[in-house]
């Protein structure tokens, strides 16, 4: 019996040792794009099937069969990743994935350190590097889109964070932080549309819905996916035709931007936020090979009602400065986004 176990142990050790010297997919699939797909676990198990069949058979036999196939694949791939990382810390694709999840749900350094001891995550010291790598990757994707001729619109809103303390004292209390978070979205290309202001005056007949339009809207509405809204079928249309119907049917491309450590409540913070926008825009377009467009470039900036008023006021404070960048001219227009109103509607 001991001889059989020794041979079995040596066979598994030989299989893992062969893959831990750099030929495993766990060395290659470490970039953010690879981690964001569902291929990592599947390709890991495929590698085991080809190069570590004994270990795969052992783990498959040990697992309870009540779970789904996806769960079994993820479990086996995770165990294999932990074993590989224990032999070579550069085989860290699985650890990067779980570290990203841990960071996403606010794991502290102590938790990351303990999970790293069992080879489930990267070390706590790697947290900063991992976040920076993901941020650089997001900017590279944005610059790549700009180099293809795409444009975008900036959106921003306040980000309020409360850090609770477990040991409250006179000089150690819960702390509130007020930052600003942003993203840039590309969907509607506005370069072909006029930037001239609208004419004053409006024919009210062009605004109110005619009887024919009401009939079209009522007959065209089909509430298929939200049964709870079926009572609205006689009120709202399935689709409102407008000049951007084709563009609105497309999927948005959104790029998350770095969090600004400024508070929009004060104009001082708003000016710094818009300065950061201008610096990023100039850096992106220069790297994308579109630096010649910067002088005439205009990028819309959107936010809720408070954000729009604050940013517009901050921009007015720079009206007397000398250059396009100092006057924040590249950030135009500053518009209202009704995402709070839409959220309230969905909550109701």
Per-residue pLDDT of the chain (348 residues; tens, 9 = 90+): 454 456 668 888 888 998 988 889 999 888 888 887 768 999 999 999 999 999 999 999 888 877 788 899 999 999 999 999 999 999 899 999 999 999 989 898 999 999 999 999 999 999 999 999 999 999 999 999 999 988 889 999 999 988 888 777 878 888 889 999 999 887 666 566 666 666 666 666 666 677 777 766 665 555 455 566 677 667 766 677 777 788 777 788 889 999 999 999 999 999 999 999 999 999 999 999 999 999 899 999 999 989 999 999 999 999 989 999 999 999 999 998 887 776 776 665
Q: Where are the domains of the chain?
A: 2-124, 134-187+251-347, 204-240
Global confidence as pTM: 0.75
Distance CA 154, CA 279 (A): 13
Burial (0-12, 13-18, 19+ Cβ within 10 Å), 260: buried
**Strands 299-303 and 153-163, bridge-based pairing:** parallel
Report d(CA 113, CA 82) in Å as an integer. Answer: 15
Measure the CA–CA gap between 103 and 121, rounded to whole angstroms: 10
Determine the Cα–Cα distance for residues 297 and 281; give it in Å rounded to an integer: 9
Most distant CA atoms of the chain, gap in Å: 94
| pLDDT for the residue 227 | 66
Q: What does the pLDDT read at residue 251?
A: 80
Question: Cis link prior to 81 (omega < 30° from 0)?
Answer: no
Measured distance CA(184)–CA(176) in Å, rounded: 26
């Amino acid at each position: 019996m001991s001889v059989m176990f020794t041979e079995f142990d040596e066979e598994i050790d030989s299989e893992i040792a062969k893959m831990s010297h750099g030929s495993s997919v766990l060395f290659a699939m470490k970039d953010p794009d690879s981690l964001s797909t569902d291929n990592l676990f599947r390709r890991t198990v495929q590698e085991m099937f080809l190069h570590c069949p004994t270990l795969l058979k052992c783990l498959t036999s040990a697992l309870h069969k009540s779970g789904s196939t996806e769960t079994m694949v993820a479990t086996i791939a995770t165990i294999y990743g932990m074993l590989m990382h224990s032999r070579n810390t550069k085989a860290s694709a699985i650890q990067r994935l779980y570290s990203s999840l841990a960071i996403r749900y606010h794991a502290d350094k102590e938790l990351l350190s303990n999970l790293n001891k069992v080879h489930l995550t990267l070390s706590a010291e790697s947290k900063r590097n991992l976040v920076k790598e993901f941020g650089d990757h997001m900017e590279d994707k944005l610059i790549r889109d700009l180099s293809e001729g795409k444009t975008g619109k900036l959106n921003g809103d306040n980000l309020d964070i409360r850090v609770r303390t477990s040991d409250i004292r006179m000089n150690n209390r819960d702390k509130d932080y007020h930052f600003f978070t942003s993203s840039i979205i590309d969907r509607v290309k506005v370069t072909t549309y006029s930037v001239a202001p609208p004419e004053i005056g409006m024919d009210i007949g062009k605004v109110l819905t005619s009887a024919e339009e009401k009939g079209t809207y009522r007959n065209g509405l089909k509430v298929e996916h939200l049964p709870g809204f079926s009572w609205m079928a006689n009120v709202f249309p399935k689709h409102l035709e407008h000049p951007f119907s084709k563009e609105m049917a497309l999927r948005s491309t959104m790029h998350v931007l770095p969090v600004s450590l400024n508070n929009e409540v004060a104009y001082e913070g708003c000016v710094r936020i818009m300065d950061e926008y201008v610096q990023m825009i100039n850096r992106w377009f220069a790297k994308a090979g579109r630096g010649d467009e910067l002088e005439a470039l205009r990028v819309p900036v959107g936010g809720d009602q408070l954000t729009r008023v604050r940013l517009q006021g901050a921009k007015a404070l720079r009206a007397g400065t000398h250059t396009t960048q100092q006057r924040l001219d590249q950030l135009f227009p500053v518009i209202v986004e009704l995402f709070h109103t839409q959220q309230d509607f969905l909550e109701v």
